[in-house]
Chains A and B, each alone.
Chain A
Amino acid sequence: MFDLTGKVAIVTGSGKGIGKGIARCLIKAGAKVCLNCVSNRAIAEETLKEMQALGGEDCAILIQADVSDFEQAQNMVKETVAKWGKLDILVNNAALQKNMDFDEYPEEFYDLLINVNLGGYTNMMRACLPYLKETKGSITMISSVHGKRPTDFDPVYAITKGGMHMLMREAAIEFANYGVRVNMILPAGVKIEFKSGNPASFKGPERKLDIDNKMLFEKYPTYALGRTGLPDDSGYLCVYLASQEAEHITGAAIRADGGSMLK
């Protein structure tokens, strides 16, 4: 079950974090994966080596590209298809979060989040669609429980996630005509690897989110199941959603949040 042997995938924003967990799970299920990073190439190179150790030399490539630029998105897709001859799976994951309130948000950060979180997801879907039509492939978008529940720490992030919910549903109904499925995964807080609480590219005033090592496996009251998420929680769901067994699933938004939305 849930075998992705022979499938080709692109996972955006997979140099680290949730995207890396997704790439790892897809490779474990047999897929070949194009990893993508925008800035932190050194960390992504490490991830590439890790993936190749896991699935063999030919299981992964790394392409640096800014998905908010359609031409770069398109070039990445073309390069992937040139390498492996087709494309079956797009996982839209590259997104930004700034953790600032209404009164602190610079306008250029508002524009940046719209351009990356919504524009980038749109660019990648459009760039991949011609190839996904041929394979009757699938698109999975990584969003957040904050597409439904406000954050109270980053209004623009929540706005983009609310918009993303509709982008997924519109894409699902439009692309159903081509047999291409579009679904969404909604994680809550996910323990990822950067130590500082924010990526190196973060330029705004730092407000570190309340996630650290100590909390990971302690009873943490936000999560009904007692822990924050891990990248692989979304990864396993991505494997299912991209598999043949999910052929009747489209337009779905599935929470992988440890029951945080129950609280």
Chain B
Amino acid sequence: MRFSGKTVYITEASSAVGEALARRFASEGANLVLGDACPCLVKELEEKGAKVLNVQGAPIHYEQAEARLAEILKTFPRVDALIFNNNKAIKTSIENLERAVFDEQMNYNLKSAFVLTRTLGEHMGGYGNGKLVFVSSIHDDKPTGSTPFYSVAKGGITMLSKEAALFFGRKGLQSNVIELGALEGDDETFKSEFAGQYVYMEHRIPRGKAGKPEEVAGIAAFLASEDSNFVNGASIRADGGFMLHYRFR
């Protein structure tokens, strides 16, 4: 098993994608640190033999990230991979933006990634190896017309990953992005008055079906494993071809 004896920290393990990630890494033998996971998921994974530490809250300050690492190291010897999976999209227009929405989108989706990358990058760099995987979105490039500051944060994530690929790459780490698109439910999440991308969403995917969380987990497992040691600073688009702007025929 690729992750036997390794510790993988998955943030936002409460979402459908987060749960699928947790199940996949557990099935490949990883010790898990899960961000805000449902106790039912923890129980399920422990019954299958996984060691799980469930941690609460997304660090958004330097000292919170340091404290999170210290908390993890009480249970596990080191962290081998960070799967940054914070993906909260809040509907707003730019015109009628409330400052609190800007702050929440930027802190949870972007600053949390920065502070964790900084702390865990240094930590893993001390061992000369480790993985940073950012589960992000096609909206690092494609505007939503409905959740603009989600997109802004995702644009930031892509550059964070590339910078980390250089800085922490010299310390033996790899940093990569998964650009998710057109998962089940996304047509509601990103429904827009201005943008037509998600109208008849499934008809815009050549296979005719939206993505499932499990289909994301395999890509994250690849990027967190030694199979991807020469992949660094890359983005893998996981959208079934949605961004090719296919029209149903």
Contact = CB atoms under 8 A, between A and B. Distances in A.
B152 A163 contact: yes
B245 to A, nearest CB: 15
Contact of A159 (B62, B115, B160, B195): B160
B29 interface: no
B151 A169 contact: yes
**Which range holds the interface residue count of chain B?**
35 or more
Dominant SS among interface residues on chain B: helix
A152 B139 contact: no
B94 interface: yes
A158 B167 CA distance: 13
A110 B62 CA distance: 11
A102 B167 contact: yes
A167 to B, nearest CB: 5
Interface string A161-172: 111111101111
A174 B93 CA distance: 8
A167 B114 contact: no
Interface stretch (B71-79, B141-149, B223-231): B141-149
Nearest to B160: A159
Given A114-B111, A162-B155, A171 B94 contact: yes
B163 A159 contact: yes
Dominant SS among interface residues on chain A: helix
A118 interface: yes
Contact of A162 (B62, B139, B156): B156
B198 interface: no
Interface in B157-177: 157-160, 162-168
Contacts of B93: 174
A166 B155 contact: yes
Interface stretch (A143-151, A204-212, A214-222, A239-247): A143-151
A156 B166 CA distance: 14
Interface in A100-159: 101-103, 105, 107, 110, 114, 118-119, 122, 125-126, 129, 146-147, 149-152, 155-156, 158-159
A96 interface: no
A130 B140 CA distance: 28
B164 A169 contact: no
A159 B114 contact: yes
A102 B118 contact: yes
A201 interface: no
A52 to B, nearest CB: 34
Interface of B: 61-62, 93-95, 97, 99, 102, 106, 110-111, 114-115, 117-118, 121-122, 139-145, 148, 151-160, 162-168, 194-195, 233
14 contacts: A101-B167, A102-B163, A102-B168, A110-B111, A125-B94, A126-B94, A150-B159, A150-B162, A152-B163, A165-B155, A166-B143, A174-B93, A174-B194, A175-B94
